[in-house]
Every structure is written in structure tokens, then in C-alpha cells.
Structure 1
């Protein structure tokens, strides 16, 4: 069960911004749609030799330990220090991990002391120790493509080994003291002499190889192919490839035990599976149903209240009443690019992201088929994006503080509607009004602002909120807002600005991370035609609903 259980939430008189406010229209009972999971997309893995598997959790900013006998997950390092893309054990038992977004290399000694041993390395990704205790790390994916040698104690300057080699990812040293790993851009496995910089091809013809590890014989490499969803065994001497197991796409990393059992992480499914290479059998170690649920939406014409979930590593459609996942579009193996926000109209779905520089922007999908119709780049810390009735897109640029229009035409001309907003995150349209506008949450100023579409004029609807993010319109005209800094869900009367609390003590709001716009991973809010409110939890990777207490109990959601 999640940490906060289903319950009836009573309304009462509340003080917001110094005002005594009236009770909300009704009480709500809180229910689980999709239950919590321990990670926010799991990545690097390492065995500690003591019956535990270490797992890195980049967006959740944590390093975890998993009991191999029970699958129980505990947190070794939490936010914000634990933002790890890959993890490894040093010769003295220290744990090292790479901060892809923070650009920091971290170390936790056996006595529990954590410190930064290298910094200013954006895109810091993979790491491995050579037998002599020398440590090597890579940068990739954020404008850099470099292999470094780094002092494990953080005292000596780092030394560049290679650059521009093709995005070297999860690697390991072989018995010959050469480094073996995938070159993503070349779709091959390479052998690198870190003393001379010489590169040789070991095997090629992969979809997207992302990580390698040796088996106990040290004669074979296991490779995970993210796009094809395959675990492949490569005979190092000949380059011969054998598919050992077919898994879902979105594989991220692996580690091999002394018994040659292969532990594989999948960032899309947010899970860890164990493969027995002897027979290709697969068993789950840690399971999940969502990865990083952020922006959510419910189509106003959908009586079944399907919830569209921007799950960062996937785009999903979840039954709001039964919690069943009816559709999953996976990143890397599709054209969908790391969605963080979603809005839904009559014909289109609009996804937006600021997750990775070159992939940041907006995508417009056909709602019926899921086909990507338009992709519009935007590197200005994009948060919310909505489509207006005339096909114009309206984008919230979290970094610049602007709302911009993008024409419906193929030329995609852009104009600034307004600027000077303080961390715009969530958007919801108000196009039926006499003077059509849009409501926007400002995470930095604590305001909900209305922007007039005709000329960009702004008016404050509510202030004094703590980090408001997700926003949606209720059928009664009220605004439902995720007040992340206050860990609560509030209803705002747009005419008076008065607020009432629907629920408090919520598990929402991961700490912001370097390299992301204000709001980081947004907390999403959506409202169905029945008045049921849906909320995503980034902290728990869960989806919840708040049902009017007078409504009949619906089907039991998925565990």
C-alpha cells in the first residue's frame, strides 16, 4: 500500500493568505488509481557482494539497495545528493555514482560519508574501475562526448582520454585491462586502450546498445540493446552475437552476478528483471507500473475518464476508473521524446518536454492513432503546452518566463504573448469567456495568473501559494491546483481568488535539479466530467484520484 491511504477528506474553514475561506463544495475520498513504486526510472546497477543490488535513480535523485532474496528496496542516498545515472563499487567498498544533470561525481564511503569528488561535468554518465583501482567516467548527451580518468579520492586533476568517439555508455574493463563498451552513435561495441586511446570494434549491427558486462569466464560480454529490447551475448574473440533473451524496449543497464545471472534495468517499465542465460528465463526482482508520472490530462468528451499520462520515459493511457494501462508508447523505440506535460483536445494530444537539450520541445499527436504529426524544438526550459481551438499552440517557457504562440501552419512561426512570468509551469485554457484567456501557474512567485489571449495582458487570480504547478478546470468553473510547496491540492475560485484545500499531506514535489527549468518534474492535475480529480505523484511514481464523497464507489484500481 502507498504511504498515504485512501480516506475521506473532510473540508473545514482554512486560512490562505490571511483570509478565512469557506468550505469546498463537497468532501472527497482519496483513492489509488496506480499504486506507488520505489523508483523514478531505474538505471545503473552494481552488486555489492553482500546479497544486495545497488540501483541508481536519476530523476528520483536517489541511490537504492535491493535485497536479492526478497526484492525489498531501501534508500542509501536520497534527494538531492543521489541523482545517479550509473553506480559502481570502489576497491575499498565506497559507492560511486554519476550525476547526469548535476555534472557531479559522488562518493559514499563505507562509514556513510558522502561528498563530491568531481564537478562541472554535464552529461556525466557511466563509470568503471580498472583492476589497479583507477577510475574512468564518460560525458555524453549534453553537448559533450568525453572519456576521463578521475582520481577516486578527488584530489588530483582529471585527465582526458578521448573525445568525439561516439557516445561511450555503460562499460567495463576486461581481463586485458582494456575498456569494453557500447558506442551509441555507431551502434557497436568497442574495445578501448585507455593508455593509448586506440579503439577497436568488437561487434556491430545493434539497434542501440547501451551497456555491457562480462560473464564469469571473462570471454563473453552481455549487451543490452535498448531499442530492440534484447539481451545479447557477444563472444569477444570473434564478435559472434547470440540473443539470450527478448525483453521490453527501454533497457538501460545491467550487471552480471558470479553465478552468471544477469540483472537488467528498464527505465520505461521502471523495473529490474533477472535473466538466466542458460535457458533465457526471466523473473522480476522489482516491478512497477508507471515510471515518472508528471503531467496528466483527461479529455473533456471522455465519459470513461481515461487519464493520459506524460510518464517521461513513456506516454501512457490509464483507465481512470480501473487503473488499467490501455496504451504505452515507449521512448527511444518510438518518435515520442521524453514527455513531461500532456494536454488533450478533440483531435490532438500535445506533449512537451525539457528533459534533454536536443529533444526538448513540443510534439502534436493524432489522438486516435497516436501518430506524431508535428515536432517543434524549444530549448527554453519548456513546461506546459496546450492547443487552442484554432490550432495555435501556447507554450510556457519556464526558463525565460515567457508564454509564446506557435502558429498552426507548417512554418510554425513563433510570437511572444507575454513575458516576465516567474517560473510558468501549468496552463489551462479559458477560451469560452467573453475575453478568452489562459490560466498559468507561476512556481517561483506563488501566483496563478490569467493572461488575455488578445494582447497578453495579465491579471493575478490568486497569490501566496507555495510552488503551484499542475492546474485544471473543474466542471463547476473552479481551478484545481497542485500546490507542491504546501504538499496539498487546492481549489481556487477564479472570480474571487479564494482558495480551499481539498487534500493535504500529499507525497508530491521532488527537489529541483540542476539543468531543469523551475518546477523540475511537474506534478500533474486533471479533472473528469464527473468532477473526479486526478493527481500524479512524482515522489511515489503513483496516480491518485479524489472522488466526490457523494459519488458511488467505482471499480477497484490496479495494485
Structure 2
């Protein structure tokens, strides 16, 4: 029985040794990805998917479905949970398990931007400025300076597990507080915070469409909602299975969803049909338990 973690490191997988009377057989296929976490489109038009469990970043051609590993397991990027790109094509990754944020240049060179950010998670480049947050109790929101030696600039603190964030048309940073079911915004200059809406079921990201609409996925129920940033009013635009980790929206306004529980990635219609064009089939990511 193949073990892809062993194969990645050039090792031989160890076959399971069974006690007499027991049998072992594969019940589900493995996911092509090691889970699917944060996503962002690169300047080449491909969809880049972070995989924290597999320490890997994979680029997907959304037309053909072709996959290419950009940052491989065992490389310099460890446990990436989210990715973002600047105008120079540099890819920033938040390493949720190592407290690091790294920058990968287009030529493949990787450098550490910061190594003192526990549970670094959400990342966005907004007006060519780099912002990250920490997904933990008493999490913090920072601006980072990848091109000089300035330390991270604290914008807000004592946030209850913020996650994937984005800059809005009003110049504010929008992010979810996952356990509270809330969306908040922060002024990146003053640090002033304001609640946008509440009552969501484990919202995991905040992203804006090309037309400026705020879209939020809910891991708890599989719904994606559009939120009016002035009134907080919510409307469901798509519904899939629970376990959504993140979303990305292409230049044409098409919605793509990732699932951390099964590694699935799909384009999902927002016309009420919930029609899905699967790019990466859902599969088995890891042993969460036995019964």
C-alpha cells in the first residue's frame, strides 16, 4: 500500500503488520492535495492552493485542471496555510505551525519575512502592502515589511481567532472571527475596529469580488454568503458540503472553494444552482479517528 509522504522523501513505505484474523484494504482514495487551505490567483492566471498538513503549495490551471507543485514537502516553506501575491509576483506564505511568514520570489528563492508570529494564518497584499493575522485566541493583526528591516507593525490585538483577510473598497481590512461567527474590519492606519455582521457558522475567510462584493464561506454549514458592508445584511449565494476553508474569485467573478477536510477544490456557481465544476476531487486527507 503506497504512502505518499514516504515517497515524497524518497523512503520506502512500511506495510502494515496485521494480527492474525484481521484484513486491511483501502476504503477511500487519497486526495490529490494534502487538504486544501488558503487560495489565491497568481499573475499567471493559475490558482495557488496552500496545504498546511502536507507542507506544500500547488498551482492549478483552472481551465485544464493540471496541477503543478510549486513549493514541495520538505522544502523551505513549512506548513503553509494561506498565500498572497504582490505586484512583483512574489508569493507570501503564512506558516501556521512554525510562526513564520515567507516570501518566494518568481525565481524560486525563499526568504523569511518574519519568524515571530504564532499561528500566522491569514495573509493579503492590499495596495502592495503586506498584512497578516494570527489564528489563535488573542490573535494579532500586523503589517509586515518584506523589503526592509522594519519590525512588524501591530494594528490590532486580542482578536478571537481571525482567519483569511482581504482589503475592501473602503480601504479597510476585513477578517472573520471564526469561533464567534463574526466579520470585522480594521483601519490599517489607526487600528480602529468595527463589527460588520454576526450570526455566521464558523466563517473562515473574507474576500472581495472584482465588483467589490464581500463574500464569506462558512465551514460549519457549507454556505457562502454575500454581505453588505454598509448594513451587514447577508444573502446566501452558494451552498456546498461543510468544511470550506477558503475561497478565491477570478477576474471574471467566478467563485472557487477549497475544503480542508477532504482536499477538494471546485468552481461553484452563484446563480442559485450550486452547480460545481470540480478541479480537484475530494478524497482522504488524513486519519482523524477510528470507530
Q: TM-score, normalised by structure 1?
A: 0.46
Decide whether the 8 Å contact of 1:191 with 1:202 is kept in 2: yes
- Report the 3-state secondary structure (helix = DSSP H, G, I; strand = E; otherwise coil) of the residue aligned with 1:195: coil
Aligned length: 268
- Report the 3-state secondary structure (helix = DSSP H, G, I; strand = E; otherwise coil) of the residue aligned with 1:43: coil
One of 107, 110, 127 as aligned partner of 2:106: 110
4+ runs deviating over 4 angstroms: 30-33
Asked whether 1:238 is paired with 2:231, we answer yes
Q: Offset at 1:235?
A: 1.9
Q: Offset at 1:144?
A: 4.5
Distance 1:186 1:288 in 2: 28
Asked whether 1:276 is paired with 2:269, we answer yes
- Report the 3-state secondary structure (helix = DSSP H, G, I; strand = E; otherwise coil) of the residue aligned with 1:209: coil
Distance 2:247 2:285 in 1: 18
Distance 2:278 2:124 in 1: 26
Decide whether the 8 Å contact of 2:138 with 2:159 is kept in 1: no
Match of residue 140 from structure 1: 135
Unaligned regions of 5+ residues in structure 2, if any? 5-23
Q: TM-score, normalised by structure 2?
A: 0.86
Pair 1:184–1:35, CA change in 2 (3 A): closer
Q: Report 1:343-358 matches (<5 A).
A: 349=291
Q: Offset at 1:35?
A: 3.3
Distance 2:60 2:32 in 1: 10
Pair 1:154–1:167, CA change in 2 (3 A): farther
One of 31, 41, 46 as aligned partner of 2:40: 46
Distance 1:68 1:104 in 2: 29
Q: Offset at 1:122?
A: 1.8
Distance 1:37 1:245 in 2: 23
* CA deviation vs aligned residue, 1:278-332 (integer Å, no higher than 9, x gap): 343222111132112xxxxxxxxxxxxxxxxx2x3xxxxxxxxxxxxxxxxxxxx
Mean alpha-carbon deviation: is it higher for 40-49 or for 30-39?
Answer: 30-39
Distance 2:148 2:39 in 1: 23
Asked whether 1:265 is paired with 2:265, we answer no
Q: Offset at 1:154?
A: 5.5
Distance 1:124 1:227 in 2: 22
- Report the 3-state secondary structure (helix = DSSP H, G, I; strand = E; otherwise coil) of the residue aligned with 2:256: strand
Asked whether 1:253 is paired with 2:246, we answer yes
* CA deviation vs aligned residue, 1:162-216 (integer Å, no higher than 9, x gap): 1112222111001221101212233111121121111112221101111011112
Q: Offset at 1:64?
A: 0.8
Distance 1:154 1:106 in 2: 14
Q: Offset at 1:33?
A: 4.8
Asked whether 1:59 is paired with 2:64, we answer no
Q: CA RMSD in A?
A: 2.0
* CA deviation vs aligned residue, 1:83-134 (integer Å, no higher than 9, x gap): 2000011121011100000111011101111121110222111111121x22
Pair 1:251–1:154, CA change in 2 (3 A): farther
Decide whether the 8 Å contact of 1:45 with 1:265 is kept in 2: yes
Decide whether the 8 Å contact of 2:175 with 2:183 is kept in 1: yes
Unaligned regions of 5+ residues in structure 1, if any? 5-29, 293-309, 313-338, 343-348, 350-559
Asked whether 1:181 is paired with 2:175, we answer yes
Pair 1:111–1:193, CA change in 2 (3 A): same
* CA deviation vs aligned residue, 1:355-375 (integer Å, no higher than 9, x gap): xxxxxxxxxxxxxxxxxxxxx
Asked whether 1:93 is paired with 2:86, we answer no
* CA deviation vs aligned residue, 1:123-148 (integer Å, no higher than 9, x gap): 111111121x221111122x551111
Write 1 or 2 for the structure with the bigger share of strand.
1
Decide whether the 8 Å contact of 2:265 with 2:282 is kept in 1: no
Q: Offset at 1:257?
A: 1.0
Question: Is the radius of gyration larger for structure 1 or structure 2?
Answer: 1
Distance 1:154 1:40 in 2: 33
Distance 1:156 1:109 in 2: 20
Match of residue 367 from structure 1: none
Asked whether 1:222 is paired with 2:215, we answer yes
Decide whether the 8 Å contact of 2:80 with 2:94 is kept in 1: yes
Asked whether 1:286 is paired with 2:280, we answer yes
Decide whether the 8 Å contact of 1:260 with 1:276 is kept in 2: no
Pair 1:247–1:117, CA change in 2 (3 A): same
Match of residue 449 from structure 1: none
Match of residue 34 from structure 1: 28
Q: Offset at 1:31?
A: 7.7
Match of residue 14 from structure 2: none
Decide whether the 8 Å contact of 1:273 with 1:282 is kept in 2: yes
Q: Offset at 1:32?
A: 5.7
Q: Offset at 1:153?
A: 2.6
One of 106, 112, 116 as aligned partner of 1:120: 116
